[in-house]
Chains A and B, each alone.
Chain A
Amino acid sequence: MSNQLPLKFLVNLYADEPSLEKELDCCLTNDRVVGRYYLEHLIISNLLLKIFSLLDETEQPQFFNLASGSTPNELEIKTWLDKHIADCTLTLQEVVARTLFALK
């Protein structure tokens, strides 16, 4: 049910932690965990959409297999992304910023 850790790591890679926390400031303490779960879920969806649009047809299955392996780990995903779309880091940070802006 919780967002998978390797996918959650994408949020950590491209999102600014204080911005996420600020977004959740309006939530009560008990709502914070749920709010964070939904917020990360939303960001992950938007990041995956963007990442897949940046990858070509041979790279897409590679990335999917990496994320869905039996013991997926964040380091492998980070290394792979660095190798394939390192120059798009700013674009992906913008995706997160736009997602947060759209919530306002």
Chain B
Amino acid sequence: MLAAPTSLTDSTTKTSLDVESLFVAASKAQKTLATSYPRWETLHPAPKNLATIGSKNQLASEITAEERLAIFEKLVLLFEKPKLLEDLEMRLYLEQQLSDLLGLTITSELDGHRLPHTMVKIQSRSHQPKVLDDQITHHANIYEAQMGQKRSSFGWSNQDELAEQFGLSLPLYLLKEWQTDYKKTWQWFKYRKVVLINPWKKLAAIAVITDIAPDYTQRYQALSNPELSRQTQLWFPGSQGRACLFLLENPEKLKAGLINC
């Protein structure tokens, strides 16, 4: 006798059964734990039942939303306990969580280079002149930020408007490799895209390193161009200009600007 053809319905049923069997196994294991050690009942409660939630999509979105919230809380915690990032395993774990959250490959170290700081307090700066006779009216908006007087350490800019708007200045001279291989380091960081995350407002943006500043880092460890400060709401009193910075793998194809998270 011929075997019944495998239909789409069959495959859907099988997948659904797989998730359900995982639920059954998870519930059973949690019950054993709660019976053996009742204290864990509150900290590690029984898994949510798909049948009571309604749909997989709803459960999935609730799980994702809670995990997203927890990751941002963890980033806030980093400002109180910066030592968390010194442990390699912890750092890799956080990078993996952030990569999943943002849909980008995020890292603290790339090609042997690291940013001068991961947790920074950022000061907003004026628009940077891109060419010799640059005027405030040549910039898209936020005229009240006025025009800065100094051109970038990288020289007159040949970057697009977005790169200027989301420009970030970092004290690259603090890097060890700056002392040993200044030229290569300068070239590597010039107009490199990085991720800036404001965990207080749950906002993230791809910024572009457009200058080497500030000269003193005791109070502020980075300067941001006006559009970047406004879009990531660094002005928010809760965040006080504080944000996290990470490097990006394969940044060439990415555009500067806010990213969904």
A contact set with B: CB distance below 8 Å: 1-5, 7, 9, 12-13, 26-28, 30-31, 33-35, 37-39, 41-42, 44-46, 48-49, 52, 60, 64, 67-68, 71, 73-75, 78, 102-103
Give Cα distance in the complex from A27 to B20, angstroms.
11
Q: How many A-B residue pairs have CB under 8 A?
A: 120
Partner among B30, B42, B56, B81 whose Cβ is within 8 Å of the Cβ of A41:
B30
Is A26 in contact with B48, judged by CB distance below 8 angstroms? Answer: no
Supposing A2-B63, A71-B77, A73-B81 touch, asked if A39 and B22 sit within 8 A by C-beta, the answer is yes
Instruction: For B66, list chain A residues within 8 Å (CB).
Output: 1-2
Q: Classify the secondary structure of B's interface with A.
A: helix
Q: Does B178 contact A (CB under 8 A)?
A: no
Measured CB to CB, the closest approach of chain B to A12, in angstroms, equals: 5
Supposing A2-B63, A37-B47, A71-B77 touch, asked if A52 and B36 sit within 8 A by C-beta, the answer is yes
Interface string of B44-71 (1 = CB under 8 A from A): 1001101000001101101110110011
Number of interface residues of B (CB under 8 A): 46
Measured CB to CB, the closest approach of chain A to B102, in angstroms, equals: 16
Partner among A4, A13, A34, A67 whose Cβ is within 8 Å of the Cβ of B56:
A34
Supposing A31-B19, A34-B50, A73-B84 touch, asked if A49 and B33 sit within 8 A by C-beta, the answer is yes
Q: A38-B22, A67-B43 are known contacts; what are 4 more A-B pairs with Cβ within 8 Å?
A: A31-B19, A44-B44, A45-B44, A64-B43
